[in-house]
Chain A
Amino acid sequence: MSQLQPYVDCKVSVVMTDGRLIVGTLRGLDQTTNIIVQGCQERIFSEDEPVEVVGLGLYMIRGDNIAVIGLVDEKADAALDLDSLRGEPLSPLKA
Chain B
Amino acid sequence: MLFYSFFKTQVGQQVTIELKNDLAIQGTLESVDQFLNFKLKDIRVVDEERYPHMLSVKNCFIRGSVVRYVQLLPSTVDTALLQDAARREAQSTQQMQQQARPANVATA
Contact = CB atoms under 8 A, between A and B. Distances in A.
Nearest to B41: A71
Contacts of A67: 19-21, 23, 62-63, 66
Given A3-B39, A17-B66, A68-B25, A95 B20 contact: yes
Interface of A is mostly: mixed
Nearest to A64: B65
12 contacts: A13-B57, A15-B23, A17-B21, A45-B53, A67-B62, A67-B66, A68-B25, A68-B62, A69-B63, A70-B60, A73-B56, A85-B55
Q: Top 9 A-B pairs ranked by shortest CB distance?
A: A70-B57, A77-B56, A70-B60, A76-B56, A87-B52, A67-B66, A93-B20, A69-B61, A71-B59
